[in-house]
Amino acid sequence: MMTRFWLIAFAATAFAAGPQQTPVVVELFTSEGCSSCPPADNVLARLEREQPISGVEVVALGEHVDYWNDSGWRDRFSSPLFTARQQDYGQAMKLPSVYTPQMVINGQTQVLGSDWNAASSAIRAAAQGTTAMVLLKVTGWDGLSFQVRGLPKGTQTADMLLAVTESGLESSVAGGENGGRRLRHSAVVRSITSLGKLDTKKDGAYSAEARLNLRPDWNRQNLKLVLFVQDRGNRRILGAAAVHL
């Protein structure tokens, strides 16, 4: 699930003016083995497609956990990395347990993934917080430039994470709780990789270029890059940017 990236240089890259909308990262922890998950998958797809909240860019991440894989169907998009990420959120939020479908908004709030109203309210609330400026641009066939600056005051340590998502994916499920169903997915996280730690003593300012190596079985036309900055202490997502390849 890990895609290789090479940070090739610090660069003073020219970027367009910052986005007018506030990005809010919406992570859905889901599984093809869970009968309650398809409605939540539909909510995530609708949020990404319709962008229904004024002034907000919903940045969707569909993360398929692996703990359903022993229940009659192995989800080909699942990874223990996503299970570990969900469990980390559970510990940070002091939850008695994690579950599917669980939606985490900007790393700070969790709701039932199929609850459209709860998700919409949490997204609106998350958009009110102070965010860092994150800029991301694809350069050529396999390059990207990115810039991060203006971390919120009080941030101690923050990680820069780059996810590759793919939409337009389908599976004919042959077993488990969804046996016999044809499932459709949007914003499936194919990989998530750390691009490094931000030095908050320098105001978290960082500018660099990188190259990536994508797997040939991923449909490039349906891929998106999502760069987000996450506070190591409280797991809050401080800023994000997303671009299509």
CATH number at residue 167: 3.40.30.10
Tokens of 73: 């169907």
Centroid of chain to Cα 34: 20
> Per-residue pLDDT tens for 115-136?
999 999 999 999 998 899 999 9
Listed as ranges, residues in the chain with pLDDT below 70 are: 1-19, 202-204
Supply the range of the domain harboring residue 101: 4-244
Q: What's residue 213's pLDDT?
A: 85
Do residues 28 and 113 make contact, with C-beta atoms less than 8 angstroms apart? Answer: yes
Q: What's residue 154's pLDDT?
A: 86
Tokens of 221: 């036309």
Task: Give the DSSP H or E segment for 118.
Answer: helix 116-126
Average pLDDT, the chain: 91
Tokens of 7: 């940070």
Rg value, the chain, Cα: 17
Number of domains in the chain: 1
- Cis omega (within 30 of 0) on the bond before 52? no
Q: What's residue 130's pLDDT?
A: 85
